[in-house]
Amino acid sequence: MLLGAYPRRRYGVRAAPPPLRRPWPYVLSVLVTYVCYCALFSADATVVVIVRRAPPGERRLQKKSVSCVLPFDEKMEEEERDPAAAGSRSSSSSSSAKFGNKELPSALIVGVKKGGTRAVLEFIRIHPDVRAVGTETHFFDRNHERGLDWYRSLMPRTLEGQISMEKTPSYFVTAEAPRRIAAMSRHTRLIVVVRDPVTRAISDYTQTLTKSPHLPSFQELAFRNQGLGSVDASWNAIRIGLYALHLERWLSHFPLQQIHFVSGERLVSDPAGELGRLQDFLGLKRIVTDKHFYFNRTKGFPCLKKPESGASPRCLGKTKGRTHVAIDRWAIQRLRDFYRPHNVRFYQMVGQDFRWE
């Protein structure tokens, strides 16, 4: 019979091995580290520590069982996998009560390009009851085939009493957009930011020129026959400004009372007034007021004041408020003559005079 590693006692009986030293400092260190990890990454975590003492005479070191119970993790993962399930989950559940649900937007900024839509979005989203998507989703013009569940998944979570919102200014000139939005909900509130169509066209061209510096001149694009003929309304920068033409499509799906028009000019001269009227339209308490704004003379545009939280003042990006390219006065006058009857018709349709002269 082979001898073991330990010496035999008398009469051939093997001696018991020396008792193991319990590495309590090591185990305690691991335990504390794990508990801190759980507390750090989940403020709502419940840390359960189970320690079973070894019964008398048992030589083996017993393991500690430590677990972090994260009550919302599984629900949040399920919502991310299935946005439709998130939207239909009851608001009375603990997950919904804390994080809110992803709902389809109840308000949309649908236009117009270079009218001031980004400013309106940034100004209104400081209201505590407004949650907005920061980027343009282009769902109703480019991504409609992805379906409403995909669209819902892009929305921010909202609590009861909050409204979700997104802006894509190309919706206003997209023929299919009014019908598609109405199919989602006929109760959607629509916001249209309009601006003097001549100034808007020049701003549109200025932005395009920064991306494509070899473009023909503004006059060549705006007028037929090398700038000598009539206004070319097929050029997108000109066509967008035919507001009455585009509004007709929207009024076939939505009543005028459900569409709010923001003046791009008044947004610069009186941002608090325009935001006050917008809050009324959305059924919100007037929280965004003149105390939130100051006029930045360098940009020539209002900015948000420094909040009490200590963050920096918020101005729109460097692409906003850029200097427009110089346009001959005769070209501007011909464009004003072209737009005048269209503007008058638009004033009559919406019941207000924007004074674009």
Annotated binding site: 114-118, 195, 203, 320-324
Cα separation, 226 vs 155, in Å, equals 46
Q: CA–CA distance from 88 to each of 100, 149, 181, 196, 204 (Å)?
A: 11, 11, 20, 43, 41
**Other beta carbons within 10 Å of 68:** 16
Annotated binding site for 3'-phosphoadenylyl sulfate: 114-118, 195, 203, 320-324
Domains of the chain: 10-67 (no CATH), 74-350 (3.40.50.300)
The answer to whether 111 touches 193, Cβ cutoff 8 Å, is yes
Helix/strand/coil percent split, the chain, to 5: 45, 15, 40
Predicted pLDDT at 27? 53
Q: Tell me the backbone φ, ψ of residue 310, rounded to 5 degrees.
A: 100, 0
Predicted pLDDT at 305? 87
Predicted pLDDT at 28? 59
Look up residue 98 and give its two tokens.
């804390």
Alpha helix stretches (DSSP H) within the chain: 24-41, 73-81, 83-88, 94-99, 117-124, 148-153, 177-184, 197-211, 218-222, 224-227, 236-239, 243-251, 264-269, 271-281, 329-350
Task: Walk along the chain (357 residues) and give the pLDDT tens digit of each residue.
Answer: 444 444 444 444 455 555 545 555 555 565 655 544 444 444 333 333 334 444 444 444 344 333 333 333 333 333 333 433 434 433 334 445 568 999 999 999 999 999 999 999 999 999 999 999 999 999 999 999 999 999 999 999 999 999 999 999 999 999 999 999 999 999 999 999 999 999 999 999 999 999 999 999 999 999 998 767 899 999 999 999 999 999 999 999 999 999 999 999 999 999 999 999 999 999 999 999 999 999 888 778 899 986 655 556 667 766 555 678 899 999 999 999 999 999 999 999 999 999 998
**Other beta carbons within 10 Å of 126:** 14
Task: Tell me which of 114, 291, 299, 305 is the catalytic residue.
Answer: 114
pLDDT tens across 79-102, in order? Answer: 333 433 434 433 334 445 568 999
Cβ-based burial of 353 (10 A; exposed 0-12, middle 13-18, buried ≥19): exposed
**Other beta carbons within 10 Å of 141:** 18
The answer to whether 42 touches 68, Cβ cutoff 8 Å, is yes
How much is the pTM?
0.71
167 classed as catalytic = no
Amino acid found at 301: F
Cα separation, 95 vs 87, in Å, equals 12
Who contacts 88 (Cβ-Cβ below 8 Å, separation ≥6)?
Answer: none
The residue with tokens 């020539």 is 300
DSSP tag of 303: E
